Amino acid sequence: MHRTLKEAVCKPPKSCLASQQMAFDHFRPEYNQERPHEALGMKTPASLYQTSSRLYPSKLPKIEYDSWLTVRKVMPSGGIKWRDHYYYVSQALAGEPVGLKQISDTIWEVWFSFLHLGILDETKGKVLPMSPV
């Protein structure tokens, strides 16, 4: 898909962003509704698309944490302040609350809602990501 897109709209690049956007807008219906795709059994993506039956809420509920978790708001830089130190969590969570669950005197689990992000290790001075294993 990326090679096809690049050849169709980026070689050569357009002279301005508005012209580049028009090229993308022209490409999209051709790619999704006219061109058959080998990976789709020579059907078009539009012919196989189905609208999700699940409704997406217009506003997500506020994230709340149990009272035994310590909550910190992630700064625009992606970090939190904890015991007069700065620990980087993720810039993607800027403005969001994260929960800290104490494991030992210097080790804390870092949570975003129900998602375990990693371990804040005060002795190492950083948040260690969760191992995929």
What are the tens digits of pLDDT across the range 46-71?
999 999 999 888 988 899 999 999 99
What is this structure's pTM? 0.61
In angstroms, rounded to a whole number, what is the distance separating the alpha carbons of residues 109 and 119? Answer: 5
Pairing of strands 85-88, 97-102: unpaired
In angstroms, rounded to a whole number, what is the distance separating the alpha carbons of residues 28 and 92? Answer: 28
What mean pLDDT comes out for the span 82-91? 94
> Are 31 and 37 in contact, with CB atoms under 8 Å apart?
no
Q: Angle at the Cα of 23 (from 21 to 29), degrees rounded to 5?
A: 105
Compute the mean pLDDT over every residue in the chain, rounded to the nearest whole number.
92
Alpha helix locations (H) across the chain? 2-9, 17-29, 45-48
pLDDT tens for residues 99-118?
Answer: 999 999 999 999 999 999 99
Q: Which residue in this structure is represented by tokens 């870092």?
A: 110
SS3 assignment, position 32: helix
> Are 129 and 110 in contact, with CB atoms under 8 Å apart?
no
